[in-house]
Structure 1
Amino acid sequence: MVYPYIPHTDEDRKHMLKAIGVDSLDQLFEVLGEDLLLADSVPISHGRTENEVQRMIDSIAGRNMQGIPFLGCGWYDHIIPSTVEALSSLPSFVTAYTPYQAEMSQGLLQAIYEFQSMICEITGLDVANASLYDGANAASEAANLMVGAKRKSTTVLVSETVHPFILQVLETWAKGTERTLRLVPEKEGVADLLGISELLDEHCAGLIVQSPNRYGLLEDYSGLAEQLHAEHCLLAIYSDPLSLAIQKSQAEWGADIAIGDTQSLGLPLAFGGPGCGYMAVTQDLLRKLPGRIVGATVDGEGRKGFTLTLQAREQHIKRERATSNVCSNQALAALMTTIHLSSLGWDGMVEAASQSYTKAHYLAYHLAQLPGMTLIWDKPFWCEFPLVFSDAKKMRKFMQELRNEGIFAGVRLAALTRQVKDELVLLVAVTEKRSREELELYLAAARRVMK
């Protein structure tokens, strides 16, 4: 009998067993030893019909709480044009793995080429790769690139204001190696860069910073690149790519490496994944860029085509010469970002970023007028801001009361950092998707709770 995901018939199995010189499946696996084999059959329940499975899945999904999200801290609810799902769900894209054979994958290769080109345009840097797993992965690859670019370097500086998850991934990257992470302390919600020159020595490879940072605040990096370059160190800036429509790009700050996650450009919340890491570098770092790069070329008859190039990983070159062990790219997620950007255009990006800025500032201003909460730092921000409560009890009551009214009020920063200093900080994010009615609903509920 043929099952949907076990396509071999009894005759097929007999043929395959004969080809490898064994008489039965039991004989095939007897070399494993009795202690590794199951004595009885696998205890699974009987099969279910398609309708039964659908009802079961719907029942599980029905337990999810739904509401109006003012959640952020790295994952944001933006408007996604219907073209993104319609085109990216085409079977030719959904079923395609990372394209190795250019002659078989021209459509996907072209999409990745356009993704790279758009990332270069947004960040202002010279070359981008074919995407990475997520933003945290991009940060670890940036750290790896820094160490590889400067001989005898072992230390990477990281701002304390980067997202907690990025910091955790970087700590894992350095663990058990000769590499060292050194934190640049924060001061009033941003990286304290005044003493950065004292940290730059022959062992320092570079610095990783983030803007908007973990609090949603925009940081000022004036003169920072010059300080680092004077000591042969590199600068990597992590940014939400949508924010770059209205704030300085990494290239304008003089950065060597631009990193981040394109979740805000066409990827839904989806309970936290997948993301799509981006990475762009200057021309000088081209051959140290991890992963793959898709290039445009012409075939023997002069027709335009696309192919993978500069695949500097262990699958293609000697292991010891590989720039990274990243084994894939987020091809489908990168495609969704490409379709999203093609649908919006640059003017659409500016509009989405500007609306997010305006609506976030409107909500922040009115919340700051209420007793028991404040905006602790007078610092510029984009679409997210830190709301600080006078005590933990009020904060818990605020979040619960708003949840009862179908509003997810924000993200408790301490839930991510596990730090006492963040216990009273609620990160509130507002995107262009939030309507005036939703903002007023949030404010009305906040006024009732905090009166």
Structure 2
Amino acid sequence: MRYLPLTDADRGAMLDAVGASSIDDLFVDVPEAARLDGPIRGLPTHAGEMAVEKHMRRLSKKNLAAADAPFFLGAGAYRHHVPASVDHIIQRGEFLTAYTPYQPEIAQGTLQMLFEFQTQVARLYGCAVANASMYDGSTACWEAVAMASRIARGKKRKVVLSDALHPHYAEVVRTMAKFTDDEIAGGAPSLTPAPDDDALIGLIDGETSCVVVQYPDVLGRLPDLARIAEAAHAAGALLIAVNTEPVALGAIQSPGELGANIVVGEGQAIGVGLQFGGPYLGLFAVRDQKHVRMMPGRLCGETVDADGKRGFVLTLSTREQHIRREKATSNICTNSGLCALAFSVHMTLLGEKGLTALAAENHRLACLAAERLAQIPGVSVLNESFFNEFTIRIGRDARDVVRKLADDGVLAGVSLGRLFPGNAELHDALLVCVTETSGEDDIDALCAALKEVLS
């Protein structure tokens, strides 16, 4: 029996109610090339369980795992060492709950952890208040844009995106803006040693609700957030800072301190691991308490019970499951709670000194890699400044080079041609990320392999 055993009459009645002539009308926003017109070609219609297991094992052997090769991939997902103690602690009984903690009296461990998590994120970002996390960095970025529009009460609809914002984040914003009246301004980055802050500031006008800037940006460069914030505020706009690598904030000044009104980002780098692309962890914080009620998601707070004992509760829940739908600031229905717990545990184990030391080691190794790569004929380092991620130009299509190096057992980086396929100027550029997991022997292997391919 089908899970939803509807009759043709049932389906027809529902289609009439939403004004659609057929079920296909419900999928018009999905590109036709991405839709199936029948069963997936090449797959058998059925197979035995053991046969499927053997087939999947054969496929898995084609993978080159991050831990099995010199690894220099970044671009929004970062490989850092996650202590085994993180996995042990997150499985303790204090943090178990059947679902998200609607009933605080039976989820005190989870609620306390989220309260501590919010404190950690707020301090990391230089903000007053952080929420109890979101799906991932890209959706948090859109939620910040939507929040800026709410604060502007819909009177300002222009959203200025830095050209060096991660293209996946920018695409999420553009996709969601199709359903609002927001006007999106911004393009693809130019291969310049430093971000073109003047060009970005030139896009800000009296109709701008917010300016979205990645810090460090998608090429690894560091924009002047304080200067951009000053220009945005002068026009009555908010500055949204996006951070995809939280470890960087152990070495560089926090966005909130530099004037960002809303700070969002991806928390995956701390405690979560690469995990084949998900689930990840969206971070969201605001610098000013006056904006708290415009935030999406939910907040956990500290209180006392009837006996005066310390306890934790959901303090602010602005999503549609808790309040009237028309008053909700977001329809986000979860908060990546397990990933938030892993982040909080890892951050607690590191502490402020540990995070600073980790950031320093990342930067040291990245500088060493950039210095050695620059000595290879045909390779030039683009960046004037960077944390642990920088861009090099190699004089040929970086996608081909990345594939060749992967065949040779070196995961060399992310081709900008892959991130920006429509921009030919970027096709010879390679984004290289170096973390504490990439030792000097790995850097030597990368340089030797790249030198051989380019010779």
TM-score class, shorter-chain normalisation, is 0.7 to 0.9
SS at match of 2:276: coil
Equivalent residues in 2 for 1:12-411, closer than 5 Å: 48=49, 57-66=56-65, 67-90=69-92, 93=95, 96-151=98-153, 152-183=155-186, 186=189, 188=192, 190-195=194-199, 198-239=202-243, 240-281=245-286, 282-375=288-381, 377-392=382-397, 395=398, 398-411=401-414
State which structure, 1 or 2, has the greater radius of gyration over its C-alpha atoms: 1
For residues 64 and 162 of structure 1, the distance between their equivalents in structure 2, rounded to whole angstroms, comes to 29
- Over 3 Å counting, the alpha-carbon distance change for 1:154 and 1:352 in structure 2 is same
Q: CA deviation at 1:336?
A: 0.7
- Over 3 Å counting, the alpha-carbon distance change for 1:400 and 1:227 in structure 2 is closer
The answer for the alignment partner of 1:424 in structure 2 is 428
Q: Is the 8 A contact 2:396 2:427 kept in 1?
A: no
Q: Is the 8 A contact 2:383 2:391 kept in 1?
A: no
- Over 3 Å counting, the alpha-carbon distance change for 1:198 and 1:366 in structure 2 is closer
For residues 59 and 396 of structure 1, the distance between their equivalents in structure 2, rounded to whole angstroms, comes to 26
Relative to the length of structure 2, the TM-score reads: 0.84
Cα deviation digits, residues 104-144 of structure 1 (max 9, x gap): 11111111111101001111100000101100011001100
Q: Is the 8 A contact 1:184 1:191 kept in 2?
A: no
SS at match of 2:225: coil
Q: CA deviation at 1:30?
A: 8.0
Tell me which moved more, 399-408 or 352-361.
Answer: 399-408
For residues 68 and 196 of structure 1, the distance between their equivalents in structure 2, rounded to whole angstroms, comes to 36
Give the AA of the match of 2:393. Answer: V
Cα deviation digits, residues 262-291 of structure 1 (max 9, x gap): 111011111111110101002121111100
For residues 157 and 193 of structure 2, the distance between their equivalents in structure 1, rounded to whole angstroms, comes to 28
- Over 3 Å counting, the alpha-carbon distance change for 1:445 and 1:309 in structure 2 is same
- Over 3 Å counting, the alpha-carbon distance change for 1:94 and 1:166 in structure 2 is farther
Q: CA deviation at 1:223?
A: 2.6
Q: Is the 8 A contact 2:164 2:218 kept in 1?
A: yes
State percent identity of aligned pairs.
Answer: 36
- Over 3 Å counting, the alpha-carbon distance change for 1:195 and 1:71 in structure 2 is closer
Tell me which moved more, 185-194 or 357-366.
Answer: 185-194
- Over 3 Å counting, the alpha-carbon distance change for 1:445 and 1:288 in structure 2 is same
Give the AA of the match of 2:378. Answer: G
For residues 362 and 333 of structure 1, the distance between their equivalents in structure 2, rounded to whole angstroms, comes to 32
Give the AA of the match of 2:132. Answer: A
- Report the aligned-residue RMSD: 2.6
Cα deviation digits, residues 403-437 of structure 1 (max 9, x gap): 23321111111112212121111111100111122
Q: CA deviation at 1:217?
A: 1.4
Cα deviation digits, residues 288-326 of structure 1 (max 9, x gap): 110000001111011111111211122222222211111
Relative to the length of structure 1, the TM-score reads: 0.85
The answer for the alignment partner of 1:22 in structure 2 is none
Q: CA deviation at 1:340?
A: 0.8
Q: Is the 8 A contact 2:201 2:228 kept in 1?
A: no
Q: Is the 8 A contact 1:71 1:410 kept in 2?
A: yes
Q: CA deviation at 1:362?
A: 0.6
The answer for the alignment partner of 1:40 in structure 2 is none
The answer for the alignment partner of 1:8 in structure 2 is none
- Over 3 Å counting, the alpha-carbon distance change for 1:256 and 1:184 in structure 2 is farther
For residues 147 and 223 of structure 1, the distance between their equivalents in structure 2, rounded to whole angstroms, comes to 22
For residues 46 and 184 of structure 1, the distance between their equivalents in structure 2, rounded to whole angstroms, comes to 47
SS at match of 1:136: helix
For residues 168 and 379 of structure 1, the distance between their equivalents in structure 2, rounded to whole angstroms, comes to 27
- Over 3 Å counting, the alpha-carbon distance change for 1:30 and 1:210 in structure 2 is closer
Tell me which moved more, 261-270 or 56-65.
Answer: 56-65
For residues 314 and 429 of structure 1, the distance between their equivalents in structure 2, rounded to whole angstroms, comes to 39
Structure 2: which 5+ residue stretches go unaligned? 13-43
For residues 247 and 82 of structure 1, the distance between their equivalents in structure 2, rounded to whole angstroms, comes to 28
Q: CA deviation at 1:201?
A: 3.5
For residues 413 and 200 of structure 2, the distance between their equivalents in structure 1, rounded to whole angstroms, comes to 33
- Over 3 Å counting, the alpha-carbon distance change for 1:102 and 1:396 in structure 2 is closer
Cα deviation digits, residues 195-224 of structure 1 (max 9, x gap): 555543442111010011111112222332
Tell me which moved more, 213-222 or 128-137.
Answer: 213-222
Q: Is the 8 A contact 1:136 1:166 kept in 2?
A: yes
Q: CA deviation at 1:253?
A: 0.8
The alignment covers a number of residue pairs equal to 415
Cα deviation digits, residues 47-78 of structure 1 (max 9, x gap): 748xx876565444323223332111111111
Give the AA of the match of 2:114. Answer: I
Q: Tell me, yes or no, if structure 1 residue 434 matches structure 2 residue 441.
A: no
Moved over 6 A (4+): 33-36
Structure 1: which 5+ residue stretches go unaligned? 1-24, 37-42
For residues 11 and 299 of structure 2, the distance between their equivalents in structure 1, rounded to whole angstroms, comes to 47
For residues 274 and 416 of structure 2, the distance between their equivalents in structure 1, rounded to whole angstroms, comes to 18
Give the AA of the match of 2:62. Answer: R
